[in-house]
């Protein structure tokens, strides 16, 4: 079996961690480079390499793509799962918080993909962008967050248009609410109880299905995966 290599962000927690763990389990020929500030629980895995990375810093994502391109001959999987929310009234936004949000949720994703294009073409790879239902629906106080996710959605579609003739597949994966640390700093979270959030394994198995499973011969251009029930709980922070 040929060796597979992937570059992923957001692998220290939540969705990115679940996807990376599942892919390592199902693909014994896959090595993953994970870019995040914290190493996370996969750090001791023999086929996981952590590169400490702050994706709020301009230029960092492209530098990581270039390093990967120097060290590996091809990229078979790129996953951009780093991100944060921002759900507060617009008069409260600071220029720093806005710039970090756009850099982390959008600009760094574009830079990473752009820097990896040649290696993705070489590996006939799958590029996965973690979008959100916020890219297509309105959510209270979600204007800035929704704008970054709508930009990512549009990028994913154009990136596929540009690269499909070179064998690159693109997945724009849009979950509804998932119970992760994403809500640690927010005033709300998914309601407790069965069916109110998308479980991490559903998302991870979906990526595996299209990466090396029965969906390998198709392109999952936009996938929306929502909880069966809808409900939030408000909290004091
Ligand atoms: N949870 C939901 O309901 C939900 C729904 C739809 C879409 N999403 C999207 O899914 C993605 C992952 O969110 P999650 O729910 O898994 O949240 P999470 O558990 O908080 O994970 C966020 C990930 O992003 C990384 N990250 C944050 N700031 C970073 C920075 N400055 N530099 C590098 N990495 C950074 C974190 O790593 P470090 O802290 O170690 O750097 C972590 O691995 C986000 O793009 C989010 O918008 C989430």
Residue 131 to residue 138: CA distance in whole angstroms = 14
Determine the distance separating the centroid of ligand 1 and the alpha carbon of 2, expressed in angstroms.
31
pLDDT over 60 at 1, yes or no: no
149 CA → ligand 1 middle, Å? 13
What interhelical angle do 108-123 and 60-71 show, nearest 10? 20
- Residue among 36, 39, 226 to mutate when testing ligand 1 (max atoms within 8 A of CB): 36
| Ligand 1 atom closest to Cα of residue 12 | 43
And the tokens for 189? 């979270």
**Beta carbons of 75 and 68 less than 8 angstroms apart:** yes
* Three-state DSSP class for residue 4: strand
Residue with tokens 């710039």: 99
Q: Is the pLDDT of residue 146 over 80?
A: yes
- The pLDDT of residue 237 is above 70: no
- Coil vs helix vs strand at 49: strand
**Tokens 């109880």 — which residue?**
193
10-27 pLDDT per residue, tens: 999 999 999 999 999 999
Chain-centroid distance of CA 28 in Å reads 22
In residues, how long is the chain?
237
pLDDT digits (tens, 9 = 90+) for 114-128: 999 999 999 999 999
Q: Atom 43 in ligand 1: which residue has the minimum CA distance?
A: 10
**Does the C-beta of 53 come closer than 6 Å to ligand 1?**
yes
Is the pLDDT confidence value at 2 over 80?
no
Q: Which residue minimizes the CA distance to atom 42 of ligand 1?
A: 10
Q: What is the CATH number of domain 4-234?
A: 3.40.50.720
Nearest CA-CA partner of 229 in 198, 183, 184, 188: 198
Contact indicator for 170, 117 with CB cutoff of 8 Å = no
pLDDT in tens, 55-106: 999 999 999 999 999 999 999 999 999 999 999 999 999 999 999 999 999 9
Q: Mean pLDDT, the chain, as a whole number?
A: 97
pTM of the model: 0.98
Q: Enumerate the domain spans of the chain.
A: 4-234
Which atom, in ligand 1's list, is nearest to the CA of 9? 34
Q: Work out the angle between the directed axes of helices 14-26 and 200-212 (0-180°, nearest 10).
A: 50
**Residues 34 and 49: beta-carbon distance below 8 Å:** yes
- Best mutation site among 82, 104, 146, 173 for ligand 1 pocket (most ligand atoms within 8 Å of CB): 82
Is any atom of ligand 1 closer than 6 Å to the C-beta of 54?
yes
Contact 174/224 with Cβ under 8 angstroms?
yes
Q: For residue range 189-235, what is the model confidence (pLDDT) as tens digits?
A: 999 999 999 999 999 999 999 999 999 999 999 999 999 999 999 98
| Closest by Cα among 17, 224, 16, 10 to 134 | 224
Structure tokens given for 77: 């999987």
Checking if the pLDDT of 145 tops 70, the result is: yes
Q: Does residue 188 register a pLDDT over 90?
A: yes
């Amino acid at each position: 079996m040929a060796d597979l290599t992937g570059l992923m962000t957001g692998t220290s927690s939540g969705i990115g961690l679940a996807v990376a763990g599942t892919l390592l389990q199902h693909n014994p020929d896959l090595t993953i480079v994970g870019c995040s500030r914290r190493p996370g629980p996969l750090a001791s895995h023999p086929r996981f390499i952590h590169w400490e990375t702050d994706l709020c810093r301009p230029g960092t994502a492209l530098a990581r793509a270039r390093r990967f391109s120097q060290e590996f001959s091809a990229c078979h999987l790129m996953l951009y799962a780093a991100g944060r929310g921002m759900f507060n009234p617009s008069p409260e936004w600071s220029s720093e918080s806005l710039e970090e949000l756009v850099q982390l949720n959008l600009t760094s994703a574009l830079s990473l993909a752009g820097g990896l294009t040649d290696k993705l073409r070489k590996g006939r790879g799958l590029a996965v962008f973690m979008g959100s239902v916020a890219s297509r629906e309105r959510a209270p106080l979600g204007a800035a967050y929704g704008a970054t996710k709508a930009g990512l959605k549009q990028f994913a579609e154009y990136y596929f248009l540009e690269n499909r003739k070179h064998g690159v597949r693109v997945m724009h994966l849009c979950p509804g609410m998932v119970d992760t640390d994403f809500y640690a700093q927010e005033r709300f979270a998914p309601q407790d109880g069965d069916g109110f959030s998308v479980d991490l394994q559903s998302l991870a198995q979906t990526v595996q299905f299209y990466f090396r499973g029965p969906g390998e011969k198709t392109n999952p251009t936009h996938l929306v995966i929502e909880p069966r029930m809808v409900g939030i709980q408000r909290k004091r922070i």
